[in-house]
Structure 1
């Protein structure tokens, strides 16, 4: 998901890459009912992938858990790979939302960092087993490895805006370079903690807060 961690959730070997066209949704829902169906499918797929891993993940299980027919599932998702892409996209959107909300806060640096780390850990804790599967087992579409992907650009732009605010015109490295370093550090710590099952260890959050606060303060 280019960067190994930042908002790409990549972890698959290069041999497992799949063309984006084969992983994309078949169609986007337009009506309230169809949107609800897609939401139910993605949520069910997320639960199953988190608990059973890539080896136990298939479209029949997802359809049954979502309470829809397999035909209804295939209306939107042509394969289990397209379901994985949708899960990744949903997670990316959640993380991007956290970053954008945090960037509008105007809070003192220490409070901003504490809230940001808390909320990002919360997002990654919704389905504890999910990130190990996404990072290490499930194939990923090429879009998640593209440093120019729209989500990646938007994510780093949000970090850059925050860095610019808290650096207050300091010279030296560019705001963009500091933002990229910061985003890689945060994502790396959180994703590896998710892999190890240590996200709920308060020391992990506390040390990440200390790392980010010290870095921005020193800058």
Structure 2
């Protein structure tokens, strides 16, 4: 971002821009994504848009950042509670699916069409470390058997399994089906329960 909003009004403006951009990307793809369309959909002037975002690539980065933060929030929220395994798994899966269902076409565009900044490819980024640490904590808290795999590795496997299924289902438009949801619950249950 060109500058971070500090006042409540400017935060509302930035939120409106990011939300409008996510909606346009979801509905029209990368080729239909322009700064003018975003400003108009957000109800702001193009000057206000450029006050915060130098170009549409910076805006896509902001959408990705927000999405990653939403995912981390889901993980932290379910980890804070002490739930029976089945209830925990259902809350985790439902939370992750809900975050990816806000704009159904968005993830296909972010994964397959929009350019990706190097910062989002870094496997040692602060986000990636914190994100995988949440999965390590899930495994440490809920896995009943070790299977010869340490918690860090098991957390990575669990993260990759959930991310892969959710992202591919989002690409295919099947993310909100009961079969995908229930299948993912069974996979996580099986992985965490394996002795």
SS at match of 1:62: helix
Alpha-carbon distance, 1:167 to partner: 2.8
2:145–2:192 contact (8 Å) kept in structure 1 = no
> Equivalent residue for 2:153?
177
> Equivalent residue for 1:34?
10
SS at match of 2:30: coil
Select 1:48's aligned residue among 15, 21, 24. Answer: 24
Deviations 1:137-164 (A, max 9, x none): 0001001100111111111111111111
2:89–2:188 contact (8 Å) kept in structure 1 = yes
Deviations 1:110-162 (A, max 9, x none): 11111111111111111011000000000010011001111111111111111
Select 1:72's aligned residue among 19, 30, 48. Answer: 48
> Equivalent residue for 2:108?
132
2:144–2:193 contact (8 Å) kept in structure 1 = no
> Equivalent residue for 2:86?
110
TM-score with structure 1 length normalisation? 0.87
> Equivalent residue for 2:70?
94
Query: CA–CA distance in 2 between the matches of 1:67 and 1:166?
Result: 46
Query: CA–CA distance in 2 between the matches of 1:170 and 1:52?
Result: 46
Query: CA–CA distance in 2 between the matches of 1:129 and 1:190?
Result: 13
2:145–2:193 contact (8 Å) kept in structure 1 = no
Consecutive unaligned residues of structure 1, counting only runs of 5 or more, are 1-24
Query: CA–CA distance in 2 between the matches of 1:117 and 1:169?
Result: 21
Instruction: Compare the two structures and name the one with the higher helix fraction.
Output: 2
Name the count of aligned residue pairs: 195
> Equivalent residue for 1:11?
none
Query: CA–CA distance in 2 between the matches of 1:200 and 1:158?
Result: 24
Query: CA–CA distance in 2 between the matches of 1:171 and 1:46?
Result: 41
Q: How large is the Cα RMSD of the aligned pairs?
A: 1.2
TM-score with structure 2 length normalisation? 0.97
